[in-house]
Structures are given as C-alpha cells and as structure tokens.
Amino acid sequence: MNDDTLCRMPAWEFADLIRRRKISPVEVAKAVLARIEHLNGRLNAFINLYPELTLAEAHDCERAVMAGEPLGLLHGVPVSLKDNYWTRGLRTTFGSKLMADFVPSEDAPSVNRLKRAGAVNIGKTNVPEFAWRGSTDNPLFGPTRNPWNKDRTSGGSSGGAAAAVAAGMGPLALSGDGAGSTRIPASFCGVVGLKPTRGRVALYPSAAANELLLQAGPIARTVRDAALMLSAMSGPDRRDPLCLPIEGEDFARNIDQGVRGLRIAWSPTAGFMPVESETRDIAERAARTFEELGAIVEDASPTIDDPQWILDLSFGANAAGQHSRRPDAEKQQMDPALVAYAEAIGTTSLSDLVKAVIGRQAVVRRLSDFFERYDLLLAPTVGLPAFPVGIVGPTEVAGQKVGHLGWSSTYVFNWSGQPAMSVPAGWTKDGLPVGLQIVGRQLDDALVIAAGAAFEAARPWADRWPALDDLAR
C-alpha cells in the first residue's frame, strides 16, 4: 500500500487493519511523517515534531500486536496534539515566546487517555498565542495556512490541528474549544470538529476563568473517526473536579441510527449571527437534507439578544486576568492584538463581570427552553468562509459590524455546555469549505454524532481533498 493511500485512510480503518495485522503501525507512522515533511513547510500546521519518538511508539505498538496483547481503541493510529495541552517531557509553548521553553512534568488527561488507547503521537500543532482568537498566528511560529487556499486562515484556535487533518497529515487531532476553537477551524478547513458535552473529557490544568467553557475534543475527516476518538478520550480524572463521572461509553455504537422522526430546527443565524448569503445558502441546502432522511425540519431560532457584550466580558476576562498586568517587557514579546484585547477588558468593573455572568445564564435558560421543543439545532458554524491570513478576524459580515468572534455561532453552546459538531456542508464557488453546526441537548453527544453520520452518508465529503500537489510547491 503506497503512502498516499495510507494517508487518505480514516482512523477507524487504520485501527481495524492494524488489529488484523494487515498493515503495520510503523508503516503508517512513516507514511504520515513523510507527508508532513512534504507539506508542512507550506502550511505550518505542525510546530514541534519528534520523528524518533513517533517511530519508537509505533514500534512499541507493532510489538504489542505481534505478541497478541490487548489493544486499545486507537492502537497504532497517528494523532496530533494541540500545543496548549500538557505533554510530559515535551515542549508545550501555547504559541507564546513567554512559554517557548516550557516542558510539563505530566500529561493532560486527554493526552494520557490517548496514550492508553494506543495512539501514536506525531507532533504538536500550531495555535494562536494562548489560544485567544479564531485565526491561528503567533509571534513564535507565525501563521498556519488553509489547505484549500494558502492565502486564507485555517481558523483558530485549533488551526494547526484542522489544517493537518484536512491535508492528510494524520487522521486525528486533539483539539480544544472554549468559544468555538474546534468548530471554527473545522468549518474553515472542511473537516469534522466535535465539542462534546461539558465534562465528557477531563481537563487539567484548568483554563483559568474559562474552566466552565473549555472542552477537549476531536478533529477528524469523518464522523465515525470523531466518535472513535471521543470514546477513547472521555472519562473522569481526579485532577478535574468538574468532569462527569461517566466512563466507557462507545459513541459509535448507535452511529447508524439515523434521524427519522427527529424534530430539528434550522436557523440561518442561530438566533444572533450575521451570515453572508452564499454561506447561508450552502448551509440551508445541507439542513434540508435532513428532511430527505426522514426528520421534521422547521425554521426556528433561539431567542438570543446580541450576546457579543457577554462574550467580551466573560471570554475577555480570562485574557485580562492573565495578561493585562504583565510587565511591559513581556507584553512586547506578545501578539499586540492580544495585549490590546486584554488591556481593554482589564478595566472592567466587577459589577460588569457579574452582569455578564447573569446575561450568560439567561442565554442558557433560553437555549434550554428551545431544546424542550427540538431534538437538534442546525445552523451555519461560521457566518463566512475562511478570511485572509494576517488579520485577527473580520470586522464586518453581511454589512453588519462584528466584534471578537462575533462572526461565529459557536460560543453560546460553550456557555450551555451542549454537544455541538461542525461538519462540511459544502464549498463556495471559490472552493472554500462551509461548515454546518449540529447542536444537541446536554449528554446527547451520541445523537449529535448519529445525525452527523447520517448527513455524511447522504452528502459524503471525505473523498474531496484540497489541491495538495500545489501545496508542496
């Protein structure tokens, strides 16, 4: 089997063929490393690679297979790790010059569980500094580019992860989502990004003021791969007092159950997001596919007043608390836009922060009421396709001014803790991907996954690849 065929193979097939001794974990690792060497110089998705360690892990996996030892869900499968997850003995920089030499003494819970599942670590992927924005660029490593158009962003903050998967530089990526950081880059790069129910995957260390909002999750090419990775990662950890005491769930068990009879809401705005017309049309055509699959699809939107001010105060408070009072010498080494954002929010009063918490709780109540009537909500993940590299984000969408991350529909579902997945809805006339967000009730991760799988079966995307030969030039 040639390297190109291997690198286009989904993770679940890797796992199956390795288990049946049809392919070697070492063969797989070498193919992926060769593809990274071929393409990464143009995309800058990976910022730390350690091929000797990767191959050593692959050899260990091969020995376990040949010895007939018990094998984990992801045994021998290559997985990349976002560069804000602690990795014992391996540099973890958060995309910051201030953390350029930081080497953790322990693994994050998700990293540990991936190891226990037999995954092979292929490297760390790029992030914006301290994962603060929806485009991936930082003073330490520079920008990650979109495989579909190198002049466009890959999104953020998991932009390196999404670009790697979209380009076939590994089938799975560990991501994280505090306001859309998994779903935004998945939408921009034409892959699957899943934010699970809050607490499904244990987190450590905590994300400061964002500890109630951030969730670890998978980025993958297929919904089944995302389900497999979530099954491997989910479960409690003593270091995270907020994680769910649920372990051993198989999120692919009922993946083929379909959506027949479900009551599904389609909203072109998710209740608050401005959307460009082409993006809206692509997402709506995708949503109408669910009618063909037997679901009842109704035009309906949650009642959400403009939540931008809540986002600025709640998400921004985390940036302000960590960075607004840093010494000037440190600020001069940081992303200037992050420093400006932190300093602007840093003058906020405590009473305003409390108002933001109350406002966030009101949005969560409205979402709860909405999901009493609907099993799922469909909406465009982002209000536009990937924007140019070099900017933090757009300031206007569809003639409407937007603030930080105000061009996405993602962040309110971090507030409510609901499972939400972005799947490829289609491509623009310029060849840029558009994502459809599928949102479910809390703990209904399996239903969100089944809905994504039903849509993928009806409108498959995994065989559509960017012009990878052009990337190598």
Distances (CA, A) of 279 to 80, 133, 157, 184: 29, 21, 21, 14
Per the prediction, the chain carries an average pLDDT of: 96
In percent, the amount of the chain with pLDDT more than 70 equals 99
Q: What is the pLDDT confidence band of residue 304, given thresholds at 50, 70 and 90?
A: very high
Compute, in degrees rounded to 10, the torsion defined by CA atoms 227, 124, 132, 272: -30
Distances (CA, A) of 334 to 83, 142, 159, 324, 326: 16, 12, 19, 11, 10
Structure pTM? 0.97
Separation CA 23–CA 121 (nearest Å): 18
Residue 82: partners with Cβ closer than 8 Å, 6 or more residues away = 124, 125, 127, 157, 158, 160, 161, 173, 174, 175, 176
Residue of 376, 372, 397 lying closest to 386 (CA atoms): 397
Q: What is the pLDDT confidence band of residue 349, given thresholds at 50, 70 and 90?
A: confident
- Residue 336: asked if its preceding bond is cis (omega within 30°), the reply is no
Separation CA 214–CA 180 (nearest Å): 9
Separation CA 151–CA 386 (nearest Å): 9
Above 90 in pLDDT, residue 364? yes
Above 80 in pLDDT, residue 471? no
Q: At residue 96, what is the residue type?
A: S
Q: What's the rounded mean pLDDT across residues 62-69?
A: 98
Exposed/middle/buried for 279, CB within 10 Å: 0-12, 13-18, 19+? buried
The string of pLDDT tens digits covering residues 249-297 is: 999 999 999 999 999 999 999 999 999 999 999 999 999 999 999 999 9
Separation CA 120–CA 58 (nearest Å): 6
Q: What's the rounded mean pLDDT across residues 170-174?
A: 98
pLDDT at 11: 98
Tokens of 125: 């992927």
List 397's β-bridge partners, or say none. Answer: 400
The string of pLDDT tens digits covering residues 97-131 is: 999 999 999 999 999 999 999 999 999 999 999 99
Above 80 in pLDDT, residue 20? yes
Q: What's the rounded mean pLDDT across residues 184-202?
A: 98
99: left (phi over 0), alpha (psi -120 to 50) or beta: alpha
208: left (phi over 0), alpha (psi -120 to 50) or beta: left
Let me know how long the chain is.
Answer: 473
Residues serving a catalytic function are 82, 157, 181
Above 60 in pLDDT, residue 351? yes
Separation CA 233–CA 1 (nearest Å): 29
pLDDT at 115: 98
Residue of 370, 453, 447, 435 lying closest to 166 (CA atoms): 435
Decide which of 377 and 317 is more confident. Answer: 377
Least confident stretch, 37-41, 50-54, 148-152, 313-317: 313-317
CATH number of 3-259+378-471: 3.90.1300.10
Tokens of 12: 């679940």
Residue of 308, 329, 331 lying closest to 320 (CA atoms): 331
Residue of 432, 434, 441 lying closest to 380 (CA atoms): 434
